[in-house]
Amino acid sequence: MKILFGFTLVFLGAIGYSQDGGWLTLPKSNDSISILEKQELDFNDPNGKVVVTGGEKLKTLEEFVRTGEETVEGVKMDGFRVLIFFDQNKSESESQKARFLSRYPDHKAYVDYLAPNYRVRVGNFRTKLEAEALKAEIIGMFPTAIVISDKIQLPQLPLKIAPINGDGNQ
């Protein structure tokens, strides 16, 4: 009899707990559930507008995403470089970089490590054609040079642009 009484007490206690916000309760109708009216979208309306609402978390997330756009070297973009040398010896890679820069001081050169080799990449080219032009110029000095796609620094724009005549010539 005591066992039956104890079992009944535990059973009623569990039911009572679940009714007061315990483990398996559903939200009440006015708790954080809202029903939105279905609206038809007009994709041809030129006067449409988008309203983005969000709190501080959204601003924090946006700032975090934006921090990846800039590095110590500046803003990066998709472009091309010429890979002129790679080797497992870092000092040899550095000497090849110095050899290139002594001959072509107008271009930038970068040494980075991509296991198991150190790579020497040169230039910041927006188009593959520009990178191929440098490759054709240095192929005698660096016979293994190849053009690769890479994240590059924004190339410097000329300070003064020549005016264009009415016929399209400079």
* Residue 61 Cα distances to 27, 69, 70, 133, 158, angstroms: 29, 14, 16, 42, 36
Q: What is the mean pLDDT of residues 73-96?
A: 90
Token readout for 100 is: 């290139």
Token readout for 53 is: 């609402």
What pLDDT, in 10s, does the model give residues 127-150?
A: 999 999 999 999 999 999 999 999
Q: What is the mean pLDDT of the chain?
A: 77
pLDDT: is 118 or 2 the higher one?
118
Quote the number of domains for the chain: 1
* 95: in domain: yes
What pLDDT, in 10s, does the model give residues 30-67?
A: 444 444 555 666 777 777 777 767 777 777 777 766 66
In which domain, by residue range, is 142 found? 71-153
* 29: in domain: no
Q: What is the CATH number of the domain that holds 106?
A: 3.30.70.1070
